[in-house]
Structure 1
Amino acid sequence: MKKIIITGLFAASISAFGFTLESNGIENGFIKEKYGKFGTENINGMPSLSFPLKWKEAPKNTKTFALVMEDYDAIPVTGFSWIHWVTIIPGNYNELKENASLKDSNLIQGVNSWISSMGGLSKADASHFGGPAPPDKPHTYSITLYALDKEIPLKSGFYLNELYKEMEGHILDQVTLKGDYKN
């Protein structure tokens, strides 16, 4: 499906069918500093203030959403793409408010890469938004929202591969929003 990235006062991504994702936490293509390592909110050193997201025109028959935020620029540094947030969102939602990762009990959140030996957090602490903290240069972060035609039967603390297995054959549409973060 064709994706378009638009920058301006807010960042937005549009799918071929009109499914859109935007955030006022991303300005001129950059994630605001407060949502990453330059912010003041953290869990044992992991930036923990999640940025707000809004979406429109989700496909009919959407039962649930899944959100995955990854940093592919981390591969040369860590040897793998760094997972910053993976969460299952109720199908009746059309937005996540700022700090939803810590405040919205309806989200089912999987572990992020801060659980790895490079992050050193416990599974419980890593089962939230883990904000950008690029060690070497500015990195680009991909935030993908999937509209799914089924409920996902996972519990908090799940792994990304488990989510991908559950989503297989059930993705109605997806949209990706990108934002950079300074190092």
Structure 2
Amino acid sequence: MDGEMTTPIDGKIEQKGELALTSPAFEDGEMMPDSVGYANENENPPLHISGVPDGAEALVLAMDDPEAEPVVGHIWDHWMVFDINSETAEIPEAWTPDSAVEAYNDFVETGWGGPSPPEGDHAYYFKLFALDSKVGYPPAIRKARLGSVMATECEILAQTQLVGRYDAEQGTIF
């Protein structure tokens, strides 16, 4: 990312506050189920949210693959959902949000775009942010703009990440 402006949503993040993100489908740093893969069922894993701070008005959830950068030239964005109700405690498998907004991923689709590493085992970073206000943008937003809005128009009250791994042998689109 030489010379590129980064935003709070880029790459790995540091823990801030008591916000926590876990999954009953995999432990932090462990392999995710085959079903999450883009070439398989392409369904997001179930996620549990806790520790949302008082004063949070909305949550932002993103999943990306920093290890794709040497191959595609940037961190590959798989999923971005914003303006999630701050009282949300569970994201079900194969979630279709009715009150949150799903942004475009790097498959140029809205919604979940599951792992599809070109080769080997990649780490995928699920990042969760608690904001003091809603983002309030349409779904056509991409990660750079979403991150910029988070940095300039909102206050990030808390943030956390969960890492899941996925191997090319679990399913590929190539």
Q: Same fold judged by TM-score > 0.5?
A: yes
Gaps of 5+ in 1: 1-13, 42-46, 116-125
Paired residue for 1:92? 87
Paired residue for 1:68? 62
Partner amino acid for 1:181?
A: Y
Paired residue for 2:135? 152
Partner amino acid for 2:130?
A: A
- How much has 1:130 moved relative to structure 2? 0.1
Q: Deviations over 1:13-67 (max 9, x none)?
A: x94532211011225711111111452x3xxxxx3x1111111111110100001
Q: How many residues align?
A: 151
Question: Secondary structure at the residue paired with 2:61?
Answer: strand
- How much has 1:135 moved relative to structure 2? 0.9
Give the TM-score taking structure 2 as reference length.
0.81
- How much has 1:136 moved relative to structure 2? 1.3
Paired residue for 1:172? 157
- How much has 1:91 moved relative to structure 2? 1.7
1:32-181 mapped onto 2 (5 Å cutoff): 32-37=33-38, 39=40, 41=41, 47=42, 49-88=43-82, 89-100=84-95, 103-115=96-108, 126-168=109-151, 169-181=154-166
Give the TM-score taking structure 1 as reference length.
0.77
Question: Secondary structure at the residue paired with 2:68?
Answer: helix
Gaps of 5+ in 2: 1-13, 169-174
Alpha-carbon RMSD across the aligned residues, in angstroms, is: 1.7
Identity of aligned residues (%): 27
By relative contact order (CA 8 Å, sep 6+), the higher-ranking structure is 2
Paired residue for 1:120? none
- How much has 1:158 moved relative to structure 2? 1.3
Distance (Å, rounded) in 2 between the aligned partners of 1:110 and 1:160:
8
Q: Deviations over 1:101-139 (max 9, x none)?
A: xx2222201100112xxxxxxxxxx11100001011110
1:6-17 mapped onto 2 (5 Å cutoff): 15=15, 17=17
- Runs of 4+ aligned structure 1 residues displaced above 2 Å come to 14-18
Q: Deviations over 1:136-183 (max 9, x none)?
A: 111000010000001111112211122112211510010010011011
